[in-house]
């Protein structure tokens, strides 16, 4: 099958994320909790990814061991540039790390992150798409938006929500959407932290997850919601923040959600271990992995930045890489090759038609006049005496 589970030498896997590197190279960051009774510490591992086999390397490229005083990882977020990532811990606030090296060797260097080292447990974190802002949402409901990398405070709102559950930046990095454990969702202006709107919902509806569209043409916000016993995906227009409609894409409640980097697909990871992938244009299911993480809630889910591959994690089954069964797309070089073949076919067809049609030019012909000769790769030539004779006949 198109799934690989990496070895788990330490404790259970908490979460994972893709790391975009130059030349369409992708790595995977996996955060693991410590084993009980302290037999193995909490680890942050970076694995290489093979796009041909759609699998992770058997051993990590780099490993960082968290201190016992930091506790276990809670969540991670990777900078769009692929050189930094932030890890929220259960005891030590947030930690910043720099990824140094390349093909010959990789090192994870710990960096100071003073404003967030004593911030408490952060449930979710996100970098803006342009990499200029970092947002963190605490279990205590405090929302912070900071400039990156100077860590200047844009917003520090201790009562943003009861407890922050999920967040996402818009493609243009202008807006930040956040959801709460009480079922509410709010929109913030990322530049100054101004609260713009609270999303509408029905009386029995709880908004749980949020993701912005990413294709650059459809300004939508997708929110996974629970209406009674029915899981839905609401669609909001980001110009008015009004609900446009909803769609049922999964049978069970979603625990995590993701949108592909090109904006073509949206995925829902269920609390029962199932994964549904739908095309954004039609909102129809194109890929369904039943019991991918059997009986376990999917902790994290992300699309690969450059391949139709998905990374999922759960505490019981660890990390899995799944190749999606979606329609194959034309690559850029294939489109140009097709256009070139069509052009050459039209040239050959025109030449064949000319050579086999006596009335192609529909010109008056003298009795001794020869037809002009056409060359595909040179100038056409006509004997000078034929021109003279044709003029005299006229």
Coil, strand, or helix at residue 168?
Answer: strand
Both tokens of residue 60?
A: 């990590």
CA distance 347 to 335: 19
Check if the beta carbon of residue 11 is closer than 8 Å to that of residue 39: no
Residue 277: which region, alpha, beta or left (left: phi > 0; alpha: psi -120 to 50)? beta
Closest CA to 187 of 125, 240, 119, 256: 240
pLDDT score at 319? 96
pLDDT digit string (tens) for 320-340?
999 998 766 655 555 667 777
Q: What is the mean pLDDT of the chain?
A: 87
The pLDDT of residue 109 is above 60: yes
If one compares 379 and 166, the residue with the highest pLDDT of the two is 166
C-alpha dihedral sign at 36, 40, 42, 48? negative
Position 245 confidence tier, pLDDT thresholds 50, 70, 90: very high
Closest CA to 248 of 270, 263, 264: 270
Coil, strand, or helix at residue 69?
Answer: helix
CA distance 319 to 28: 10
Mean pLDDT of 43-58: 96
Percent above pLDDT 70 for the chain: 83
The pLDDT of residue 157 is above 50: yes
Mean pLDDT of 254-259: 96
Looking at residue 373, the DSSP 8-state letter turns out to be B
Position 285 confidence tier, pLDDT thresholds 50, 70, 90: very high
Check if the beta carbon of residue 369 is closer than 8 Å to that of residue 385: no
If one compares 343 and 60, the residue with the highest pLDDT of the two is 60
pLDDT digit string (tens) for 176-195?
999 999 999 999 999 999 99
CA distance 380 to 34: 80
* HEC secondary structure over 20-63: EEHHHEEEEEEEECCCHHHCCCCEEEEEEEECCCCEECCCCCEE
Neighbours of 80 (CB within 10 A): 16
Coil, strand, or helix at residue 128?
Answer: coil
| Rounded to 5°, angle at Cα 310 from 288 and 296 | 65
CA distance 154 to 59: 40
Chain centroid to Cα 208, Å, comes to 20
| Rounded to 5°, angle at Cα 211 from 204 and 200 | 35
pLDDT score at 303? 97
The pLDDT of residue 379 is above 60: no
């Amino acid at each position: 099958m198109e799934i690989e589970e990496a070895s788990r030498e330490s404790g259970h896997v908490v979460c994972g994320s893709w790391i975009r590197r130059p030349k369409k190279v992708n790595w995977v960051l996996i955060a693991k909790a410590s084993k009980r009774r302290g037999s193995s510490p909490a680890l942050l591992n970076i694995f290489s990814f093979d796009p041909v086999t759609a699998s992770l390397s058997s051993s990590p490229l780099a490993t960082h061991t968290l201190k016992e005083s930091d506790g276990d990882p809670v969540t991670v977020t990777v900078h769009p540039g692929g050189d930094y990532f932030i890890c929220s811990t259960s005891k030590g606030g947030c930690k910043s790390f720099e990824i140094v090296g390349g093909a010959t060797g990789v090192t994870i260097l710990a960096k100071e992150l003073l404003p967030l080292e004593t911030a408490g447990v952060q449930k979710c974190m996100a970098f803006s798409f342009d990499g200029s802002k970092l947002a963190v949402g605490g279990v205590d409901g405090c929302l912070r938006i900071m400039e990156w990398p100077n860590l200047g405070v844009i917003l520090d709102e201790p009562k943003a929500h009861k407890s922050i559950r999920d967040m996402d930046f818009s493609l243009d990095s202008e807006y930040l959407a956040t959801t709460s454990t009480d079922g509410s969702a709010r929109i913030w202006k990322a530049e100054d932290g101004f609260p713009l709107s609270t999303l509408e919902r029905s009386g029995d509806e709880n908004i749980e997850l949020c993701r912005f569209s990413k294709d650059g043409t459809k300004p939508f916000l997708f929110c996974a919601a629970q209406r009674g016993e029915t899981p839905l995906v609401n669609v909001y227009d980001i110009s008015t923040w009004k609900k446009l409609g909803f769609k049922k894409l999964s049978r069970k409640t979603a625990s995590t959600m993701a949108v592909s980097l090109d904006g073509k697909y949206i995925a829902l990871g269920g609390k029962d271990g199932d994964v549904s992938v739908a095309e954004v244009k039609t909102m129809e299911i194109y890929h369904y992995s039943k019991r991918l993480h059997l009986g376990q809630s999917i902790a994290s889910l992300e699309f690969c930045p450059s391949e139709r591959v998905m990374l999922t994690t759960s505490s019981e089954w660890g990390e899995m890489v799944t190749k999606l069964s979606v329609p194959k797309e034309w690559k850029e070089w294939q489109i140009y090759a097709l256009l070139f073949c069509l052009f050459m076919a039209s040239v050959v067809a025109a030449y064949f038609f000319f050579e086999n049609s006596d009335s192609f030019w529909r010109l008056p012909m003298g009795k001794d006049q020869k037809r002009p000769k056409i060359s595909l790769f040179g100038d056409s030539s006509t004997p000078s005496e034929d021109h003279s004779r044709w003029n005299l006949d006229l």
